[in-house]
A and B are shown apart, each in its own frame.
Chain A
Amino acid sequence: MMNLTLRIWRQKDSNSKGRMVDYKVTDISEHMSFLEMMDVLNEQLVNSGEEPVAFDHDCREGICGMCSLYINGEAHGPDRAITTCQLHMRSFKDGDTITIEPWRATAFPVIKDLIVDRMALERIQHAGGFISVNTSGNTQDANSLPISKINADEAMDAAACIGCGACVATCKNASAMLFVGAKVSQYALLPQGQVEAKERVLNMVAQMDKEGFGNCTNTGACEVECPKGISLENIARMNREYLKASILSK
């Protein structure tokens, strides 16, 4: 059982000024998940009539991409290849002070406490994160077009992105290149994605720049913090696609 001090960013809404506030929690089991520890704190706050700490979370099994949190200076906390909801208290020890902040990036304004607005990522997807095929029931048979297993597997690895924004939060430039690179790569690796490949990469990158995300300087922090292990190669592939699309004539 652990007793901990939590230093948490509290901010009433996007227009208010925020500040760090210290809280104590006691009798925390090492088997608890980090967010269950936050539940304990919030139950404590509600019972004493205070407003609980707002944080994003939903599936609590590492796939919805809703949870965020910058814990002791690391996106999704100290462990690797996990989301915050998969972080367990066994990664901490009795007496620790844990600093908990929201994602920090110009493109992610704080909504409340630890919750940020990730609509910028949505708008990038609107700009080109799709293949233009209507639902009809008349598309060709799924097996009429074989796709090499290697390409299919690589496309799957890129498509595993959960859109949490850890790559942006951890990057010193607040770059979204890993996020965008993953989507561009998924389609670039599949024959279905070829028809619109050029417009897709140009439009998505243009939207990314418009949203105020920074550029990539190849530090690789995003790959390290990505809960799904999305590879930097996806950024390289996006750059190739971008170059190809930019220099080739219409």
Chain B
Amino acid sequence: MAILDAKIPKGPIKDKWTTYKDKINLVNPANKRNIDIIVVGTGLAGGSAAATLAELGYNVKAFAYQDSPRRAHSIAAQGGINAAKNYQGDGDSNYRLFYDTVKGGDYRSREANVYRLAEVSGNIIDQCVAQGVPFARDYGGLLDNRSFGGVLVSRTFYAKGQTGQQLLLGAYSAMNRQIARGKIDMFNRHEMLDVVKIDGKARGIIARNLITGEIERHSAHAVVIATGGYGNVYFLSTNAMGSNATAAWKIHKKGAFFANPCFTQIHPTCIPRSGDYQSKLTLMSESLRNDGRIWVPARIEDAKAIQQGQLKPTEIAEENRDYYLERRYPAFGNLVPRDVASRAAKERCDAGFGVNATGEAVYLDFASAILRYGKEQAKIHGISDASEAKIIELGKGIIEEKYGNLFQMYEKIIAENPYETPMMIYPATHYTMGGVWVDYNLMTTVPGLYCIGEANFSDHGANRLGASALMQGLADGYFVLPYTIGDYLSNDIRTGAIPTDTPEFDEVEKEVKTRLDFFVNNKGTKSVDYFHKKLGKVMWDKVGMARNEKNLKEAIAEIKQIREDFWKDIKVPGGLNEMNVELEKAGRVADFLELGELFALDALNRNESCGGHFREESVETEGPQKGEALRDDTNYKYVAAWEYKGEPSEAVLHKEELEFNDIELKTRSYK
């Protein structure tokens, strides 16, 4: 078990990062010019890392499967980014952000990493503003904040409903400056298909040029994986269509441990599914829960009438509405953390109170916020006898200013006006807290191989708080990795360029080519999507919001079967040496078919309920928390890091015991 050393620096938590930075080895500027780093993925983590490493003087090769780094899925993050600036003077501090994140993660994250995250959070905002990121401001010209789920302060910075876009464009602009200087060599429309190790160290990758189909060798002194999460294992998720786990899974198969795959976030506010043709689900930012109230009909007959299209939500009287989050969790109300809100929605819908024709939706209602803002505006504008129509008009103006683009997005998809009738929402897979295991340096169990952003496991424990993904991606890329990787690379200053004409590269390239050859020559009868949808259904039904031993065992057997069928019957039209979208998808789904099984295995192993992982066997049976998730700190206070051994089911479990010295372990209550 010595292999799982998290390398957490000694000393008080407040000093760890500072002391660490003071003591690490540095690479002098002249030597940086002789060191190459590969960064795979150009979202917030990869983009910010690539730009910063290039600024420092390293030679960076960056890879993206899209036609530009600006299109990585970080761009779709809507609501905001957390930072412990305490600009609102509401009692925020690094410690409080650290505390909220550890508690929100249900005490399954590593204290030292999270504290460091909180510590650098303020720098991120400073850096982004310096880059020209147009954050929302108040009339005094200072930065505005909003509040997100699971916290009691306003620490979320935002740029309308497009915060991810603006932050990514900031990182992208920093990359562009380095591309222009020749310090970043940008490989758009390229996909990493495997990692190459030499003497146990990561020294390069094999990538496919997605336009020509050419298989390329790229070498470097270190490799950074920043390829995001694996939510598309469910087929339907809020991820982009191309979001995939291939890079993360490939490095897992080459020795990087994979941690806590069962910790997956099902986001409570997404637009509900409408039919079998559905290709993805669309998120409605959590920021909407600042002003929207969530409810379902209190009477089952009303719910039935709505499902059959005989009743409209606006026709249900106030007393016949069940604002179930406000009822169950009076302290946090509609702003409970995501996992709690999602399960509560599922509970109501399973009990038959869901709306929409499918019965799988709840309402998110802005009527009372429109009135509240309208009255406030009437006062500000000195309208003393404002009519209700005027109040509503004024209120709608404020709601439009805050959430206009989200409302427009909703209306485009559902063809209903959310200013007039409540939105319908339902939980959907959104983010994966689990991922590649990394130590304090963000290095995987393979030397020289790093993993940052959503692709790693470290900061969010079993549940991520809203507006923390952007924070972590940029913290890793701008402020953490550039230090930690230098410590490793200081031993490589005499290595010289890594040649690619070596047996190690030959071997991995051959593996990659063999697999691609197989796909185009198999001539089976079923498309890639056929298998992906089958996998997704098993994952959602049996490894979704609520899990139990029986279902998980079935899921493992079923996924194995789908995988066998896939390799027998997959059909990929087109050739190798050309753009071939089906071929790209085939490789990604092949990896999801293995990852899905490990995911279910991990969920089966963890017989406790914590964060996004809910085991039906583990709930509070009495007291005020009756029916709520029951965490088991005696048996499961560890990170489950899995080592690949040939088949997902044969993976070996390594435990990183979590120590909580600065936060007292408590039952997570939002009552």
Contact = CB atoms under 8 A, between A and B. Distances in A.
A27 B277 CA distance: 11
B508 interface: no
B141 A149 contact: yes
Given A64-B76, A86-B413, A125-B176, A40 B579 contact: no
A119 B67 contact: yes
Interface in A141-159: 141-143, 145-149, 152-153, 155-156, 159
Contacts of B149: none
B138 interface: yes
B290 interface: no
Interface string A110-123: 01100101110110
A151 to B, nearest CB: 9
Interface string B158-170: 0110100110010
A160 interface: yes
A134 interface: yes
Interface string A153-172: 10110011011000000000
A135 B127 contact: yes
Given A90-B415, A115-B579, A137-B120, A60 B134 contact: no
Contacts of A125: 172-173, 176
A37 to B, nearest CB: 8
A152 B134 contact: yes
Given A59-B75, A125-B176, A160-B165, A46 B482 contact: no
Contact of A134 (B55, B85, B408, B582): B55
B279 A126 contact: no
A149 B66 contact: no
B134 A46 contact: no
A35 B277 CA distance: 10
B131 interface: yes
A227 to B, nearest CB: 11
B277 A32 contact: yes
A63 interface: yes
Contacts of B172: 125
A88 B160 contact: no
Nearest to B477: A135
A111 B142 CA distance: 46
A95 interface: no
Contacts of A36: 277-279
Given A86-B412, A112-B579, A137 B134 contact: no
A125 B173 CA distance: 8
A117 B52 CA distance: 27
A149 B138 contact: yes
Given A125-B173, A126-B180, A131 B134 contact: no
Interface in B70-87: 70-73, 75-76, 85, 87
Contacts of B159: 156, 159
Interface stretch (A2-10, A184-192, A211-219, A240-248): A184-192
Interface stretch (B249-257, B339-347, B378-386, B570-578): B570-578
A46 B582 contact: yes
Contact of A64 (B52, B71, B283): B71
B573 A50 contact: yes
Nearest to A31: B274
A78 interface: no
Nearest to A40: B277
Given A119-B188, A146-B142, A149-B137, A190 B132 contact: yes
A66 interface: yes
A33 B275 CA distance: 11
Nearest to A27: B277
Contacts of B412: 62, 79, 82, 86, 88
A88 B413 CA distance: 7
A169 to B, nearest CB: 15
A63 B582 contact: no
A39 interface: yes
B130 A139 contact: yes
Interface in A64-114: 64-66, 79, 81-82, 86, 88, 90, 111-112
A152 B143 CA distance: 10
Contacts of B173: 125, 129-131
Nearest to A90: B415
A12 to B, nearest CB: 7
Contacts of A155: 132, 134
A198 interface: no
B176 A137 contact: no
Interface in B539-571: 571
B66 to A, nearest CB: 6
A152 B135 contact: yes
A61 interface: yes
Contact of B87 (A54, A56, A143, A152): A143
Given A60-B240, A190-B134, A192-B131, A127 B180 contact: yes
Contacts of A133: 127, 130-131, 174
Contact of A135 (B75, B132, B174, B277): B174
B658 interface: no
Interface string B27-64: 00000000000000000000010011001000000000
B132 A193 contact: yes
A86 B413 CA distance: 7
Nearest to A127: B180
Nearest to B238: A61
Residue of B120, B135, B176 contacting most chain A CB atoms (<10 Å): B176
A66 B66 contact: yes
B222 to A, nearest CB: 18
Given A132-B177, A147-B141, A149-B139, A192 B130 contact: yes
A233 interface: no
A148 B141 contact: yes
A54 B130 contact: no
A67 to B, nearest CB: 10
A22 interface: no
B527 A43 contact: yes
B166 A52 contact: no
A135 B52 contact: yes
Contacts of B415: 88, 90
A60 B279 contact: yes
Residue of B52, B130, B159, B179 contacting most chain A CB atoms (<10 Å): B130
A40 B140 CA distance: 52
B130 A131 contact: yes
B66 A156 contact: no
A153 B141 CA distance: 11
A82 to B, nearest CB: 6
B129 A142 contact: yes
Contacts of A132: 177
B579 A141 contact: no
B241 A130 contact: no
B277 A29 contact: yes
A156 B141 contact: no
A201 B629 CA distance: 57
B68 interface: yes
A29 B278 CA distance: 11
Interface string B190-234: 000000000000000000000100000000000000000000000
Contacts of A126: 176, 179-180
B127 A139 contact: yes
A66 B71 contact: yes
B126 A139 contact: yes
B180 A142 contact: no
B132 A187 contact: yes
B409 interface: yes
Return the 6 tightest CB-CB contacts between A and B, nearest first.
A146-B141, A130-B173, A156-B134, A155-B134, A142-B129, A130-B177
12 contacts: A31-B274, A33-B413, A47-B527, A58-B73, A63-B165, A111-B579, A126-B176, A130-B176, A148-B141, A149-B141, A156-B159, A160-B162
Given A43-B529, A65-B71, A142-B135, 19 more contacts: A35-B279, A39-B277, A56-B67, A57-B241, A63-B76, A64-B75, A65-B68, A81-B408, A126-B176, A139-B123, A142-B85, A142-B126, A146-B137, A146-B142, A149-B137, A149-B141, A153-B137, A159-B134, A159-B166
